[in-house]
Amino acid sequence: MMVRETFQLDNIHCPSCVAKIEKAVAAMRGVSSARMAFATGRLAVDYDPTVIEPGAIAATVSRLGYPARSIRRQELGS
């Protein structure tokens, strides 16, 4: 089963911030995709919850300088 977690991020100032975040999160083990909307500051991450937890994703983004918090979780099925 895959999960889509949506995070609200702070301090997003430019499109290069978006690219940096998407690249870092997409490289994480267990993550199948990471897509960010610059206009809203929201990051949608599809991942395998048996491999990685949302807290690890939020921590990685926060370490990059963009405080992140989960605002929605959706099961995507198998």
Q: In this structure, what CATH number is given to the domain that contains residue 19?
A: 3.30.70.100
Rounded distance between C-alpha atoms, residue 16 and residue 18, angstroms: 5
Three-class secondary structure of residue 78 per DSSP: coil
Tokens 């911030």 appear where?
Answer: 17
78 pLDDT higher than 90: no
User: Which amino acid, 21?
Assistant: I
Q: How far is CA 50 from the centre of its chain?
A: 16
When divided into structural domains, the chain yields a total of 1
77 pLDDT higher than 80: no
Three-class secondary structure of residue 24 per DSSP: helix
Q: What is the pLDDT of residues 22-71, one digit of tens each?
A: 999 999 999 999 999 999 999 999 999 999 999 999 999 999 999 999 99
Domain with 72, as residue range(s), is: 2-77
pTM more than 0.85 = yes
